[in-house]
Chain A
Amino acid sequence: MRTDPGTRGFLIAAAVLLAAGPFLPKWLSYIATISLGYALVVAGVVLLMRAGLVSFGQGLYFCLGGYAVGAAGKYWNLGDAFVLLAAAVAVSVAVAALLGLLLARYREIFFAMFTMAFSMILYGLLSKSQALGSTDGFNVSHATFLGYAPVALQGWLYAAAVVLSMAVAIALQRYLRSGMGYAGDAIRENEIRVEYLGISVYRVVYLKYLVAAGLGGLGGGLAALASGHVGPDMAYWTTSGEFVFVALLGGTQHIAAAFAASFLFELIKTYAFELSPYTWQMMLGVVLLAIILFLPSGLWSLVARGREALR
């Protein structure tokens, strides 16, 4: 089978990231791992955005994924990273399967507000739940890899994150070019036409919501493993707002944009927050306004423009 350029790009990226792993300073590989997790959540947001839906509540699945990983380790002594992540995805998709039945009926601001409300419900539940550490959350136990408990856990997590997220990215970018992927663009542009082409818009939106939730859970699970801690803030609406922000920053044209923007965001967040904690959100706000005004297709449109110019 021939590999298309997108797949090849992600395979190369995976190889480079894995090869560079042992040489990265600890802080950088930590940021990279976290941002790979974030990027998966953002990819879910992008998927929905391409169908014209802005989810202001993807923190719900980010948080569910994180807590699933944490709780499975805490209560059932499950330690294997892949089992934990599978649990994170399963829990998220299961919850989405239920909520999606309702949410798939809504569009525009209603979809945004409704998704936000659901994540705030989880925030409220977790904040009041003594067993799960209420507002403080709890620490996540160390993961193992197929029975092996590495001393240099972070390096292993980094490698696992790279492999997993690049595999997901390859699948996603194929997905975006498939019939299902184009159905998203079609729904964004004209739902009536889609119905008149014999396709249930409700069903397509529902399925996309499930995929986005699965990505959110996986990302949350990865972030929980990497940071070693989960808390209800993961479901607070401002966390979801950050995912939307990163999605807009990168743009929705290419899955790679979600990864680049997430990394950039994590990097800036870490440093800007240290250097000037009082103006960090202001910077975010200004950047967001600038993107909406001057670069509505996100940073990736610069990359696309550059390619055109080189041609």
Chain B
Amino acid sequence: MFTLTAILVDGTIYASWLFIVAAGLTLVYGVMRILNLAHGSLYAVGAYTAASAITWYLSAGHAPAGSYLVLLAAALAAGTVTGLLIERGVLRLMYGRDEVVMILVTYAVLLILEDVIKLIWGVESYSAYQPYQLLGRLQFGPMTFANYDLALIAVAAAVAIAMWWTLNRTRRGKLLLVVIHDREMSAALGIDVTRVFVVTFLIGGVLGAAAGALTAPVVSVVPGIGVEVIVLAFAVVVIGGLGSVQGALVGSLIVGIARAAAVHLLPEVELFVIYGVMCLVLAVRPAGLFARPAARKI
């Protein structure tokens, strides 16, 4: 019984984190048809920026409660700046190329940013655990959970609701859906695709950086965290169906619970259970849970 509760709670926490990373990735793919490997770099930049900003803020003697605002501001700044650099600096030159080529382009960006991060922050680890400790722990029977982790669930839920609201209830969001579902139609409707691309990429970037920033208080931030995260996020997005936000939500829940189950029941498989699930889903539904393969007209 404990185990089951623990699996469910841990799984949901893990899923929340995954969803915040994957939501940005899938949105960018849906609108721009770019499977952005550099999303991992955005995550890493967000984590580093948040860790340094919080450390700086607290060492200046400000109220600890303000560190949450600092964290969010760091995510926003890191995501916007890095996102703009990537989109305007590189991707803009490559639009219209094959999807696989775009993977390679973003792979190149990832490689470059990995070293840029090392040049800015060095190779030692950073940590900013204060926001994590500040919230304390929740006693639940014989189990304890960190309140910060539980708050992460609320953040992910807020992101999900905000995305759903924007896409389905606002004019701009609906325009995005048009671009996702029918690119030719969107051009015919006179949608300014360049602007849509920039805005989408920035939203995706901020989400990626926010996921990193939110993780900064939980782990020590070290070189290579972005590289690890990106393949996980890929798995989630592929399971849900590329470009589908609902898919990312369901995908992260599946992956989150699966991983938590593995951690508690069969730790040997922890590292690859995610990819196992992904292969299983793709074998049954080749385009993921929430996407349909398109037939070619001849």
On A, residues with C-beta under 8 Å from B are 54, 56, 102, 105-106, 108-110, 112-114, 116-118, 120-125, 127-129, 192, 237-238, 241, 244-245, 248, 278-282, 284-286, 288-289, 292-293
A282 touching B104, Cβ below 8 Å: no
A128 touching B112, Cβ below 8 Å: no
Assess A125 versus B115: contact at CB under 8 Å? Given A244-B104, A289-B105, A292-B101. Answer: no
CB distance from A237 to the nearest CB of B (A): 6
Instruction: Say yes or no: is B173 at the interface (Cβ < 8 Å to chain A).
Output: no
Q: Give 1 or 0 for each of B218-259: 1 = CB within 8 Å of chain A CB.
A: 000000000100010011001000100000000000000000
Instruction: Say yes or no: is B110 at the interface (Cβ < 8 Å to chain A).
Output: yes
Please name all residues of chain A whose beta carbon is closer than 8 Å to the beta carbon of B113 when the two chains form the complex: 285
Identity of the chain A residue whose Cβ is nearest the Cβ of B29 in the assembled complex: A109
CB distance from B16 to the nearest CB of A (A): 22
7 contacts between A and B (CB under 8 A): A110-B238, A110-B286, A112-B100, A117-B275, A124-B270, A237-B231, A285-B113
Q: Give 1 or 0 for each of B256-286: 1 = CB within 8 Å of chain A CB.
A: 0000000000011111100110110011001
Identity of the chain A residue whose Cβ is nearest the Cβ of B123 in the assembled complex: A278
Bound-state CA distance A105–B283 (Å) is 9
Q: Tell which of B100, B110, B115, B276 touches A54, judged by Cβ atoms closer than 8 Å.
A: B100
A109 touching B227, Cβ below 8 Å: no
Bound-state CA distance A229–B147 (Å) is 44
Q: Tell which of B107, B112, B116, B242 touches A109, judged by Cβ atoms closer than 8 Å.
A: B242
Known: A108-B100, A279-B119. 13 other contacts (CB 8 A): A56-B103, A117-B238, A121-B276, A124-B272, A129-B268, A285-B107, A285-B108, A285-B112, A285-B115, A286-B108, A286-B112, A289-B90, A292-B97
B residues contacting the other copy or chain, number (CB 8 A): 46
Closest 8 pairs between A and B when the two form their complex, measured CB to CB: A124-B271, A124-B272, A285-B111, A285-B112, A282-B115, A288-B108, A117-B275, A121-B272
A120 touching B100, Cβ below 8 Å: no
CB distance from B32 to the nearest CB of A (A): 13
Please name all residues of chain A whose beta carbon is closer than 8 Å to the beta carbon of B275 when the two chains form the complex: 117-118, 120-121, 124
Identity of the chain A residue whose Cβ is nearest the Cβ of B282 in the assembled complex: A114
A123 touching B272, Cβ below 8 Å: yes
Bound-state CA distance A54–B114 (Å) is 23
Q: Give 1 or 0 for each of B98-131: 1 = CB within 8 Å of chain A CB.
A: 0111011101111111111011000100000000
CB distance from A50 to the nearest CB of B (A): 13
B272 touching A125, Cβ below 8 Å: yes
Bound-state CA distance A117–B270 (Å) is 14
Please name all residues of chain B whose beta carbon is closer than 8 Å to the beta carbon of A241 when the two chains form the complex: 107
Bound-state CA distance A289–B37 (Å) is 14
